[in-house]
Structure 1
Amino acid sequence: MEIPELNNVYGLIDCSGRMKEFAATLQRFREAEVWLKVSNFDGAESIHMEISDASFQAYGDHHSQFLFNGAIAGDEEMVCEFTRELHSLLRLAGFSVWFEIYDRNRVPLATLGTYFGNRHQ
């Protein structure tokens, strides 16, 4: 199956200065390829994760919170199952994480975790 052009999962993760640990945790998920990048301009950190059926990007929101959005190939059930597995892995590693999952028509399918971000940034 082909990865969709638009994200179908939107999330937030609190790394609390643990970006290298976050990247290492992602590498254990379905043999993901993970890149941690640091901006030469302002030192901002970002992570890119690639798997055969998904692509995710984490980039700084502020301080320790990062937006963690991605696109997952498959039907609604496959997308939800993939996201539940990823959510569980990150929670077990001690990260606060929240996801919203959408169908191809942008209709919400599920929410995992409790939103902890500040909506007024």
Structure 2
Amino acid sequence: MNFSNCERPTDLPNCNNVYGLVVMDGPLAELGNRLSSFRDGMEISHKKSQFDGAESFRMGNVDCEFTCSLYRGNEYLLNGGVAGDNDYVSLFAKHLQEQLTQWGYASTFDVLDTHRKRIAWFGKPLD
């Protein structure tokens, strides 16, 4: 299945089905700006907490919706929902992980089915 040529589903799941961890040393906004080119129509919304100054961003388009926020140190959670069947969701996560690797970010992604069971894992173990 060629990810860039497959038809996009449009019904987002009710809960997250992709859970990612991204390691980066640069500013969070840089990652968000790069991800804006990941898929056509991807929109990025940056946010800075007025309470503690923590930065985060949301990204989404017709077939996905993700949030990225600090986990600890230089590790960020990139979790969200992807519309489609298990094959499509897995292919989306694989493509996302590969793109992050090309940009120089270490990352891992777990893909869960509707019963919350792991159906795929992409990336290398992170130290």
Q: Considering the TM-score relative to the shorter chain, is it more than 0.5?
A: yes
Distance in 2 separating the partners of 1:51 and 1:115:
29
Matched residue of 1:104: which SS? coil
Equivalent residue letter for 2:38? F
The structural deviation recorded for 1:18 is: 2.8
Distance in 1 separating the partners of 2:94 and 2:123:
10
Match for residue 8 of structure 1?
17
Q: How does 1:34-73 map to 2 (within 5 A)?
A: 34-73=44-83
Give TM-score, length-normalised by structure 2.
Answer: 0.86
1:71-102 deviation per Cα after TM superposition (whole angstroms, max 9, x unaligned): 00000111011111111111111111110001
Match for residue 103 of structure 1?
113
Structure 2's unaligned 5+ residue stretches are: 1-9
Match for residue 74 of structure 1?
84
Matched residue of 1:43: which SS? coil
The structural deviation recorded for 1:25 is: 1.2
Distance in 2 separating the partners of 1:44 and 1:101:
27
When the two chains are superposed, the root-mean-square deviation of aligned CA atoms in Å is 1.2
* Structure 2 residue corresponding to 1:23, chosen from 28, 32, 49: 32
Q: Percent identity?
A: 34
Distance in 2 separating the partners of 1:52 and 1:116:
30
Distance in 2 separating the partners of 1:45 and 1:116:
22
Equivalent residue letter for 1:24? N
* Structure 2 residue corresponding to 1:33, chosen from 37, 43, 49: 43
Match for residue 3 of structure 2?
none
Distance in 1 separating the partners of 2:84 and 2:115:
14
